[in-house]
Amino acid sequence: MIRSLLLRLQLLCLLAFCACCTSPALAAAPATAPTLASQAAQLPLDDGLHARFDVALGQVEGKLVRLVAAAPLLLVALAIVLLSMWIGRGLSRRRGWLRLRSGNPYMEDLIRRIVRLLALLVGVLVALDLLGATSLVGAVLGSAGVIGLVLGFAFKDIAENYVAGVLLSLRRPFSPGDHVVIDSHEGKVVALDSRTTTLMTMDGNQLRLPNALVFKAVVLNYSTNPQRRFDFNVLIDNADSIRRAQALGLQVIEGIHGVLAEPAPSSLVKDYTPAGVTLAFYGWIDQTASDLGKVRSEAIRLVKSAYTREEMHAPKAISHVVLARTEHPALPAPPAHAENGRADTSVNRDMDQQLAAAQQASDQNLLDGEKSKPAAG
């Protein structure tokens, strides 16, 4: 007797454990239907294992019957989800309806994905409401939130790069094909995707930079302004005329194809040392029509050729050995009008027009208020 009671108790515990492990849909069955545990408990132990299998088979048949009865409803729910996917895909392709004529392909693709996702989410919610499983939505959303938080911490760098990519697409500090320098990395922009910015270096290699690095780095864009200045230095002997050397160099540079007449080429005396005089020459080009490196190379070649024709050579290293110092009489100071003409020392205004145009094109300038402030002192 005691042994039969113990066996019955163990069977009830096993059946209760199995019932707890079943899905919520099985637990939501009507209360009036007899459960497997109750039916098994009512059977005597002497009936054998065959009767218990019959009870379990009856339960399975009941579940299958209810599933077949609900099959039309499941098909309708599945059709709603598929229809929402089709509608989302159709809406994402209608650029005119979404007013996606911003010329920003990255943002257009992002908005299309969001539209498709929202349409699919609406379809899933409608299907669950049709099936009477709206209570499952809260549990799924809560689990998704917890999982999203965990994944956010686990993939922090990926999320940071994605957000930086969205912000870069909105601000657009560069465009495809622009010549830029980003955190000492120089190249031309190939593409901007959700995680990286791809550059083509000047020697033809592909360089991928994380969007977070690009967003926080100092970006130098050479292609924003079509006009760009080149410069080079020339060393002449101290005995040569500086004014003549400058005039000859500027005359040569002005005649080079690709050098702009406005702003005009200019020259400065950069340094004066016992080894010679360093002259700096400057010229402007239009990057859309000429190459900076080629024009600069041609300017150096032609200036060097002109100096050679005029017998203006670079200084040679000469060492003077003084064996005896001789006294020379003091020379009188030259008169004030000894120089022929006055040198141009005016403020350089080459970039004033370009700077004014860039300031007018700017949507917002936090320094606008500084113009109305009176000068100090």
Q: Which of 252, 243, 239 is nearest to 311 (CA)?
A: 239
Burial of 186 (0-12, 13-18, 19+ CB in 10 A): middle
Highest mean pLDDT among 25-29, 123-127, 361-365: 123-127
Q: Which of 113-127, 147-161, 240-254, 297-311 has the lowest mean pLDDT?
A: 147-161
What one-letter code names the amino acid at 183? D
Tell me which of 2.120.10, 3.30.70, 1.10.287, 3.40.1350 is the CATH number of domain 72-154: 1.10.287
d(CA 295, CA 253): 9
Phi, psi values for residue 264, rounded to 5°: -80, 155
d(CA 293, CA 87): 53
In the chain, where the domains are located? 72-154, 161-221, 227-309
Q: What tokens appear for 347 in the block?
A: 């403020």
| Span 269-279, average pLDDT | 91
d(CA 377, CA 374): 9
C-alpha distances (whole Å) from 346 to each of 264, 342, 343, 350 are: 14, 11, 9, 11
Q: How sure is the predictor about 360, in pLDDT bands with cuts at 50, 70 and 90?
A: confident
Phi, psi values for residue 21, rounded to 5°: -85, -5
Report the mean per-residue pLDDT for the chain.
74
Residue 242 pLDDT: 92
Tell me which of 3.20.20.80, 2.40.50.140, 1.10.150.120, 2.30.30.60 is the CATH number of domain 161-221: 2.30.30.60
Cis peptide before 263 (omega within 30 of 0): yes
Domain 227-309: give its CATH architecture. 2-Layer Sandwich (3.30)
Residue 369 pLDDT: 52
What one-letter code names the amino acid at 86? W
Residue 131 pLDDT: 73
Burial of 154 (0-12, 13-18, 19+ CB in 10 A): exposed
d(CA 359, CA 366): 11
Per-residue burial over 62-101, b if 16 or more Cβ lie within 10 Å, else e, is eeeeeeeeeeeeeeebeebbeebeebbeeebeeeeeeebe
Residue of higher predicted confidence among 74 and 189: 189
